Structure 1
Amino acid sequence: MPSRPQAVLFDSGGVLMQPKGGRWNPRADFEDIMREHFPALTDEDLAGAIAVGDVFMAAAADATTPDYDDFHRAILSHLGITGTPELLADLRRPVPPASILEVFPEVLPTLRTLRERGVRMAVVSDAWPELPELHRALGLHGFFEAYAISALVGCHKPDPRMYRHASDALGLAPEQCLFVDDAPDLVEAALTLGYQGRAVLRTPPERPCPVDWVTGIDQLLPLVQPAA
């Protein structure tokens, strides 16, 4: 029976935080920005463009995280709109992260407890390079020793390099780390690589889950132990 892990490797979206309104891409203010530039756009127009963006992201699933401007160009092309530098910049204009993202209620107390116990932590996320800055703005800074971010590592989970980038940064073997993700198949992949794992399913699944799961990260506390 494996010993309790000494570190936790967290996915970010769906585990630590979620988008307000339930949509990751494009950003929650996409419709408002587009209507500022093109008032004649209808809800149907924008919904069709967002659907094209979903297809674009799905096509990139086996490669690295695409450039966000390229993502927006794909959406705009569907609308017959040229992605000028000014428009692309507006779609990426800085906004307070708390206006579009929120941390799950149990996350900060749990991270504080893990840190107090000496449990080491890292993030393994299919995300853009700005993720650490987003975490900082949401109060999640100071907890994670390392980030494995797909846009920087150059691959997506379940590529083994994503998991190993984090565990290697901590100087720990896979079996010493607990990988946590809201996608059970990505937890399965981690298990095959020798990591311990749990899925975070905030709504109980309708079908049997192939891996052990919890409904919140506070339920991970009994599963880990600090380094000796």
Structure 2
Amino acid sequence: MPEPPRAVLFDFGGVIAEEGFHQGLRALAARNGLDETRVLQACHDAIYGSGFIIGRGGEADFWRALRAHISFRESDDEVRADVLARFRLRPHMLQLVHDLRARNIRCALLSDQIDWLDRLDARDHFFREFDRLYISYRLGKGKADASLFDDVVADLGVHPREALLVDDNAGNIERAVSRGLIAWLFTDEDACLARLAPLFSGQREISV
């Protein structure tokens, strides 16, 4: 990357916060003696198949679709509460967002999330930390559709090569790169912070 980015796009679950959905589903599988991989796939199929992830279906549609694939004894409310409790913000990542914005680098939350994200914000108040929010259930489009990245950079008023995506999903990374963005696969906080360190040291270049 010849110049620092003008905008950084952060995923939520797995980057800004712990991945509560996957953690909660693994716990659900363990409690009910279910295969973890099967539960994760069933949830993926239900949340996309019901349209819940892009705001075209409701929560009741999601639960019906999920229970059609797997059987578990907990109520919908109990599973939701457990999942939400596992989304824990990462303070160092939020500090990174704050520091980037202090250097006039725009920061956006770009996340495939259902409306439970509003409940998390009501609890933790993190929306205010970002310049823009691009959430799939609000947009009617998720990161599985590569054109979303075109929409986001256009809205931010930056060239694709001026935007950096930080995401923990390899497929999202590939799709962002295919649209001309710089994209880094998030593995852990320390690695992410180290990779972005040149932005705070006055260096003109950071590695792609």
The TM-score, its normalising length taken from structure 2, stands at: 0.72
The correspondence of residues 137-152 of structure 1 with structure 2, limited to 5 A, is 137-152=123-138
RMSD (CA atoms): 3.8
Of 62, 66, 73 in structure 2, the residue corresponding to residue 71 of structure 1 is 62
Q: 1:80 to 1:215 in 2, by over 3 A?
A: closer
Q: Give secondary structure in 2 for the equivalent of 1:103.
A: coil
Asked whether the equivalents of residues 18 and 90 of structure 2 are also in contact (C-alpha less than 8 Å), the reply is: yes
CA distance in 2: counterparts of 1:188 and 1:219, whole angstroms: 19
Q: 1:111 Cα deviation (Å)? A: 1.6
Report the identity percentage. Answer: 25
Aligned to 1:57: 43
The answer as to whether partners of 2:24 and 2:83 remain within 8 angstroms in 1 is no
By how many angstroms is 1:7 displaced? 0.8
- Per-residue deviation at 1:127? 0.8
Relative to structure 1, is the Cα distance of residues 168 and 218 closer, same or farther in structure 2, using a 3 angstrom cutoff?
Answer: farther
**1:104-147 CA-partner distances (Å, limit 9, x unpaired):** 24212212211211211111111113425524532423222222
- Structure 1 residue 181 corresponds to structure 2 residue 167: yes
Map Cα deviations across residues 176-204 of structure 1 (whole Å, 9 max, x no partner): 2111101233212211211112111129x
Which residue of structure 1 lines up, in the alignment, with residue 99 of structure 2? 113
Which residue is equivalent to 1:16? 16
Give the distance between the partners of 2:44 and 2:148, measured in 1 at CA. Answer: 18
Are 1:222 and 2:208 matched, yes or no?
no
Partner of 2:183, secondary structure, is strand
| Conserved? CA contact 1:201–1:216, under 8 Å | yes
Query: For 1:127 and 1:95, how far apart are their aligned partners in 2?
Result: 16
- Indicate conservation of the 8 Å contact 2:127/2:133, yes or no: no
* Deviation for aligned residue 1:164: 2.9
Q: Which residue of 2 aligns with 1:166?
A: 152
Q: Which residue of 2 aligns with 1:156?
A: 142
- 1:6-45 aligned within 5 A: 6-19=6-19, 23-25=23-25, 43=31
Q: Aligned AA for 2:71?
A: L
Runs of 4+ in 1 over 6 A off after TM superposition: 92-96
Query: Per the alignment, do residues 125 and 191 of structure 1 end up closer, same or farther by CA in structure 2, a change over 3 Å counting?
Result: same
Aligned residues: 195
Task: Say which SS state the counterpart of residue 18 (structure 2) adopts.
Answer: strand
SS at match of 2:184: strand
Amino acid aligned to 1:220: L
TM-score by length of 1: 0.66
Distance change >3 Å, CA 21–CA 162, structure 1 → 2: closer
Question: Which structure has the bigger radius of gyration?
Answer: 1
Taking a change above 3 Å as real, the CA distance of residues 24 and 106 of structure 1, as seen in their structure-2 partners, is: same
Q: Secondary structure at the match of 1:179?
A: strand
Uncovered stretches (5+) of structure 2, i.e. residues with no partner = 203-208
Q: Distance in 2 between matches of 1:18 and 1:53?
A: 19
Q: Shift in Å at residue 166 of structure 1?
A: 2.6
Give the distance between the partners of 1:188 and 1:80, measured in 2 at CA: 35
